[in-house]
Amino acid sequence: MKNIIEKLQLRGAAALTDEELVAVVVAEDQGDDGALSAAKEIIAECGGALTGVAACDFARLRMLVGMGRVRAAKLKAAAELGSRVAQAGAAAHDMVASDGDVVRIMEPLLGALQHEECWVLYLASSGRVLERMRISQGGVQSTVVDCRLIIKRALELLAVQIVIVHNHPSGNPEPSGADFSLTERVAEAAQLFDIRLLDHIIIASEGYYSFRAHNLVK
């Protein structure tokens, strides 16, 4: 651990590998030479990526390589800290000009969730985000969305464009029949009030799906 800490001190945290970052978080102290091997095993058990570690539930995490409650809590707290920093950074530049901008803004919120959530971005004509609002949250495979809530908030904000965003915890971003139905219903409801459904984007670990990029919204 001492070498990893010196590396961080001299070259910055960005120079550390994924395994070294996890090792710093879970190490008992500077002399914990087993922390790096434990970190490698943790990442491997969580799918080989930091996103898997962040998504791993607390009960399972504490059982990996004898982590225990305290070290598991530190790791979950570090993952949440990183997520909140990313969210704050995205919020400071909330302009939407492409599907990539939506993913940049929303992936820190949705990317590691193990349940489904649906959010709406309310936009001004310039593409500036007026508000990000969670409309619903559900289980592993679905969530129920009330179109009336979406349109009501758009009218309150005087938003002229909206983007629906939700996640697929399964990892597959391909839309379901329910996703197509939701897109159609919201587009029709928004059109009655001269509000444009700009896009519907599904975020998943295997990538994302944009309805607009597939010419499914006008």
Closest CA to 165 of 193, 143, 188, 148: 143
pLDDT at residue 117 in the model = 93
Burial pattern 132-154, b for ≥16 Cβ within 10 A else e, equals: bbebbeeeeebbebeeeebbebb
pLDDT at residue 34 in the model = 83
Q: With a cut of 90, say whether residue 23 has pLDDT above it.
A: no
- CA dihedral (71, 13, 111, 149) in degrees, to 10, reads 100
Residues of each domain in the chain carrying CATH 3.40.140.10:
94-210
pLDDT at residue 172 in the model = 94
The class that CATH gives domain 94-210 is: alpha beta
From first CA to last CA, the distance across the chain in angstroms is 55
pLDDT at residue 142 in the model = 53
Global confidence as pTM: 0.63
Per the CB < 8 A criterion, the answer to whether 190 and 155 are in contact is no
Per the CB < 8 A criterion, the answer to whether 20 and 3 are in contact is no
pLDDT at residue 89 in the model = 60
Read off the pLDDT of each residue in 42-66 and give the average, rounded to a whole number. 83
Distance CA 92, CA 200 (A): 22
Angle (deg, nearest 10), helices 68-91 and 18-26: 130
Give the three-class secondary structure for 25: helix
Count the helices and strands in the chain (H runs, E runs): 9, 5
Percent over 90 (pLDDT), the chain: 44
pLDDT at residue 93 in the model = 55
Higher pLDDT among residues 57 and 96, named by residue: 96
Number of Cβ within a 10 Å radius of residue 179: 20
In the beta sheet, which residues pair with residue 128?
Answer: 95
Read off the pLDDT of each residue in 20-31 and give the average, rounded to a whole number. 83
Read off the pLDDT of each residue in 114-135 and give the average, rounded to a whole number. 92
Higher pLDDT among residues 192 and 47, named by residue: 192
